[in-house]
Structure 1
Amino acid sequence: MSRYGVVDVGSNTIHLLVGEVEGGEVLPVTGEKFSARLGAGVEKTGRLEEERLLLAAEAINFFARIASLNGAPSPEVLATSAVRDAANGAELVERVGETTGLKMRLISGQKEAELGFRGALSALQERPEKVVVVDLGGGSAQLIFGDRAGEIEERVSLPLGTNRTTERFVRADPPTDEELEELRGHVAGMLPGWDVGGAPIVAVGGSARAMLKITSDALTVERLWRLSAEIRTRPSGLLAREHGLTPERARVLPAAVTTLVTIMEVYGEQELTVARGGIREGTLLALAERGEI
């Protein structure tokens, strides 16, 4: 069985996934991650920090070697919002090409949404007739409305990633009620006025998964607002130690919870599902199906 690999260069974390595909399902072989926080400061300066750029290039080179050792010698290297939006993003693309011989793809927000939707669907045990997928990253949020067959009706990429919104709105640690209320209004004002007809909402991404480390309760609107209130009482360092989160993830979690619950309220959905699939799984499915993304 063929093996496929992808290095996903996100705003918070760089991920490697090597896997096989059988019956429309991704079977992971190995995975790695490295917290480079590549998008830190991009909202304010418009540039990738030099030290983070160097770390990212080294991590990508290392992951490419791991992929090759696990049967995927030419992994796709995908760059999303942080690299896409940075004035010096081309420098990282050039360095990766020089050190690995691989071409890093600066994928559009629309392509990111498409791959994330496909990966999220593949991870659901039961596929609803219609679904809204929210892929909440560090630099951007992709919203996709489509059906169980993978047909996309609406998609949009919004600058609502957790790094970006934390840098812009959340100055205190822990954040104040006023800061998160301002963020809530900002998110609500940016969401498209789709008629999703009561379709369930599925969230993917590291921040969505981090919520599951804090609570095992159903993620209703009411529970998420209580979760927001709980994490507002703890500095991010304490939150990280209590729940096994990285400090970087704990710092952006208040913005993530606020963003997700606001999306639920705007579209009238009372419960959120968190899926384990996303852009990496969607990429492997596309590679297995047509040899390209």
Structure 2
Amino acid sequence: MEVFGVLDVGSNSVRSLVAGLRGNRLVHLASTARVVRLVERMEPSGALREEAIEALKGEISRIRSLFEGMGVREFFPFATEAARLSGALSSLLEEELGALEVLSPQKEAHSSHLGAVIGALGPGGEAWVFDLGGGSLELSDGSFSLSLPLGMLRLKERLGGESPEMLERISLLLGHELSTLPPFPRGTMLLGVGGTSSCAAMIYRGIPVEEYHPAKVHSTFLPLSFLEELLFRLLGMGLEERASLRGMERERVDTLPFGLGAIICLIKRLGLRGYVHSETGPMWGLLISSLAGRGVEVGGIDLL
């Protein structure tokens, strides 16, 4: 079985994936995610603060060791919104990783859509997919794509903090851009990927963080009513109380409300009662695209 690696440098997290190719199916072997908050640790000029550089270098070193230990034959590094904003970050990543692809917003949305759909529905499946990260929100149906610079860290900065009116304020920020969307087709599934969505699914299922595995939360339906209830619960809690919630990542206690607010506003705009969380997002999509370029058509993903 050939083993491949993917490394994703995002605005909030650095993620990795190790997957094997068995026949025409990809098999999950390992994955990691570490919150580094590059967007918060970036100067207006795009320069990275020293703590961001050290955190990033340390995580890249850990991922390289993981890839080496698991016999990764080839790995595909890429970056998204933070690197689109910062030439200094792009240069640092090229020094650390060599050739690196900085995804355009359109390719990021396409990769998220491809990975989520094949992971949840298989080739030929039809769905809209949103990917909420730290710096941006992508939405795609496979043909159109929309990218908004309103990820959870950006929303936190724009709003200046939490408030009882934050849903209304997020709705105003997203409203104009979302008003340009085509009509949501009746009977179509909405899939969601990203750390906020994964954390919400963990809390919904009551899975302790130390017991996380992608198969445990993949394809979880998250009702709008639960997301609204969770948001208002969080707004009534202190940070330490939030950290005690089963499924809550400590690094997300101050940002999860902003991500939830964006997801809630999107679901309401589309007139839905919820969405299905997917653990197979842009890393899977980029790997599938890379293999397709070599004549390998991936027929599905096995997370177990």
TM range (shorter): 0.7 to 0.9
Moved more, 254-263 or 231-240: 231-240
- Post-superposition offset of 1:68: 2.7
Q: How does 1:144-159 map to 2 (within 5 A)?
A: 144-145=140-141, 152-159=142-149
Kept in 2, the 8 Å contact 1:140–1:157? The answer is: yes
Kept in 1, the 8 Å contact 2:199–2:247? The answer is: no
**In structure 1, C-alpha distance between the alignment counterparts of 2:145 and 2:48, rounded to whole Å:** 27
**In structure 1, C-alpha distance between the alignment counterparts of 2:242 and 2:171, rounded to whole Å:** 22
- Post-superposition offset of 1:255: 0.9
Change (3 A) 1:263 1:128: farther
> Per-residue CA shift, 1:93-144, capped at 9, x if unaligned?
24314xxxx3222111111111111110122157896311001111111100
Structure 2 segments unaligned to the other structure (5+ residues): 206-219, 296-304
Moved more, 17-26 or 115-124: 17-26
Matched, 1:123 2:113: no
- Post-superposition offset of 1:234: 1.1
Kept in 2, the 8 Å contact 1:162–1:253? The answer is: yes
Please tell me the root mean square deviation across aligned C-alpha atoms, in Å: 2.4
Equivalent in the alignment of 1:255: 258
> Per-residue CA shift, 1:168-206, capped at 9, x if unaligned?
2142xxx21123321221122222321122322111011
Matched, 1:279 2:282: yes
Matched, 1:54 2:54: yes
Moved more, 213-222 or 132-141: 213-222
Kept in 1, the 8 Å contact 2:2–2:22? The answer is: no
Q: How does 1:40-119 map to 2 (within 5 A)?
A: 40-42=40-42, 46-97=46-97, 102-119=98-115
Kept in 2, the 8 Å contact 1:204–1:278? The answer is: yes
Which of 195, 205, 217 is the matching residue for 1:206? 195
Matched, 1:189 2:176: yes
Which of 205, 219, 224 is the matching residue for 2:222? 219
**In structure 1, C-alpha distance between the alignment counterparts of 2:152 and 2:93, rounded to whole Å:** 23
**In structure 1, C-alpha distance between the alignment counterparts of 2:167 and 2:64, rounded to whole Å:** 39
**In structure 1, C-alpha distance between the alignment counterparts of 2:59 and 2:237, rounded to whole Å:** 32
Amino acid at match of 2:166: E
**In structure 2, C-alpha distance between the alignment counterparts of 1:168 and 1:248, rounded to whole Å:** 20
**In structure 2, C-alpha distance between the alignment counterparts of 1:44 and 1:235, rounded to whole Å:** 30
Matched, 1:5 2:9: no
**In structure 2, C-alpha distance between the alignment counterparts of 1:38 and 1:250, rounded to whole Å:** 17
**In structure 1, C-alpha distance between the alignment counterparts of 2:133 and 2:175, rounded to whole Å:** 17
Change (3 A) 1:83 1:43: same
* 1:135 partner SS: strand
Identical residues among aligned pairs (%)? 25
**In structure 2, C-alpha distance between the alignment counterparts of 1:248 and 1:263, rounded to whole Å:** 24
**In structure 2, C-alpha distance between the alignment counterparts of 1:160 and 1:39, rounded to whole Å:** 12
TM-score of the pair, normalised by structure 2:
0.83
- Post-superposition offset of 1:239: 0.9
* 2:244 partner SS: helix
Equivalent in the alignment of 2:298: none
TM-score of the pair, normalised by structure 1:
0.86
The aligned length equals: 279
Kept in 1, the 8 Å contact 2:203–2:247? The answer is: no
**In structure 1, C-alpha distance between the alignment counterparts of 2:43 and 2:260, rounded to whole Å:** 20
> Per-residue CA shift, 1:190-236, capped at 9, x if unaligned?
22321122322111011101112222495222332222211111123
**In structure 2, C-alpha distance between the alignment counterparts of 1:56 and 1:165, rounded to whole Å:** 23
* 2:134 partner SS: coil
